[in-house]
Amino acid sequence: MVSLAKLRVVLNWQRGGLLAALLALGAFATASVNAHESTPAGRVALPVHAEASGDKCVRDTSYMKRHHMDELKHHRKETMRKGIRTTEFSLQGCINCHADKKTNSVLGKEGFCQSCHSYAAVKLDCFECHASKPKAATALSSMPASSADTPAIMPQQVQAESVDLNSTGGVRK
């Protein structure tokens, strides 16, 4: 059995160790916060807003900063589910106007979309499917008119057509 005196000694050592650990943690936290004070922008670079190439945005800046995602989602729903195509809140319209003049894209360190999304720590997943450059800069629009009228076969289509349904049960090899 442990005597009461020994138990007090052990508890005092544990209390002292806990206090030392908390003091060390507080000193480390303070040092990491103060390490960024020398930079004017703080820990995260402020977003870059290059001048837009259009006359004016579809709505005022404060509204678009707050609600652009709601408008893009609404436009997507109207287009995908109802077949209604308008240009007021189209993603391509935003890209055509806000693409950086140097890189011709809304992505990159100084890209209109990516700089704000990095600053706000918000995932930017629009461009996993959509082009980040204006339509005039895409490969399809630079093709001759006769080639653009003929549908091209994509590699995914060729692969999908080569699946033998009888031997694989519909599963790709």
In order of 18, 116, 154, 165, the CA distances from 66 in angstroms are 45, 12, 38, 50
Q: What's the rounded Cα separation, in Å, for the pair 72 and 17? A: 55
pTM over 0.75: no
105 pLDDT exceeds 50? yes
47-61, 66-80, 131-145, 152-166: least confidently modelled range: 152-166
**pLDDT at residue 118, rounded to an integer:** 87
pLDDT band, residue 17 (cuts 50/70/90): confident
Q: Please give the pLDDT value at position 53.
A: 82
Taking the C-alpha atoms of residue 130 and residue 124, their distance in angstroms, rounded to an integer, is: 11
pLDDT of residue 81: 92
What sign does the CA torsion over 74, 78, 80, 81 have? Answer: positive
98: number of Cβ within 10 Å: 20
Most confidently modeled of 8-22, 28-42, 117-131, 147-161?
A: 117-131
Residue-wise pLDDT tens digits, 115-144: 889 888 899 888 888 888 887 654 544 444
Q: How far apart are CA 45 and CA 33, in angstroms?
A: 16
Phi first, then psi: give them for residue 32, nearest 5 degrees: -70, -35
Of 25-29, 69-73, 116-120, 161-165, the range with the lowest mean pLDDT is 161-165
pLDDT confidence tier of residue 67, bands split at 50, 70 and 90: very high
Residue 26: alpha-carbon gap to chain centroid = 33
pLDDT attached to residue 70:
93
For every residue of 39-56, DSSP letters joined together read STT-SSPPPP-PPPSSSS
**pLDDT of 35-60, one tens digit each?**
544 445 557 778 877 778 878 888 99
The confidence score (pLDDT) of residue 144 equals 46
